[in-house]
Amino acid sequence: MGGFRVQEVSSSTEPEHSTAVPTPPIPLRPEYAHPAGVEALDPYNSEKTHQQSSHRDYLEEDYDQESHKEDEHENRDEADELPSLSGDHLLQSSTDDLPMFLLEPQHAYVVRNKPAMLRCRAANALQVYFKCNDVRSVKSTQFEFVDPQSGVRIVEAECNVTRDQLDEYFGEDRFTCTCYAWSSRGDIKSQPAVVELACEFEF
Sign of CA dihedral 172, 164, 194, 192: positive
**Looking at residue 69, what is its pLDDT?**
58
Cβ partners under 8 Å of residue 91, min gap 6 = 100, 123, 124, 147, 150, 152
How far is 192 from 178, CA to CA, in rounded Å? 5
**Residue closest to 178 by CA, chosen among 163, 164, 162, 194:** 194
Distance CA 166, CA 175 (A): 7
Specify the pLDDT at position 26.
59
Measured on CA atoms in the order 135, 139, 145, 150, is the torsion positive or negative? Answer: negative
**What single letter denotes the amino acid at residue 6?**
V
154 within 8 A of 145, measured Cβ to Cβ: yes
Distance CA 165, CA 159 (A): 12
What 3-state DSSP class applies to 85?
coil
Q: Is residue 98 within 8 Å of residue 185, measured between CB atoms?
A: yes
The pLDDT, as a whole number, for residue 82 is 43
Q: What is the C-alpha to C-alpha distance for residues 46 and 179, in angstroms, rounded to an integer?
A: 83
Identify which of 138, 125, 203, 126 has the alpha carbon closest to the alpha carbon of residue 177.
138
| Cα 17-19-20 angle, rounded to 5 deg | 120
Tens place of pLDDT per residue across the chain (203 aa):
455 454 454 444 455 555 555 666 655 555 455 555 555 555 555 555 445 444 454 455 554 555 555 666 565 555 455 444 444 445 554 556 789 999 999 999 999 889 999 999 999 999 999 999 988 877 889 999 998 888 899 999 999 999 999 999 998 899 999 999 999 999 999 999 999 998 765 55
pLDDT of residue 58: 46
**For residue 54, which amino acid is it?**
S
pLDDT of residue 20: 56
| Structure confidence at residue 85 (pLDDT) | 40
Q: Is the pTM of this model over 0.95?
A: no
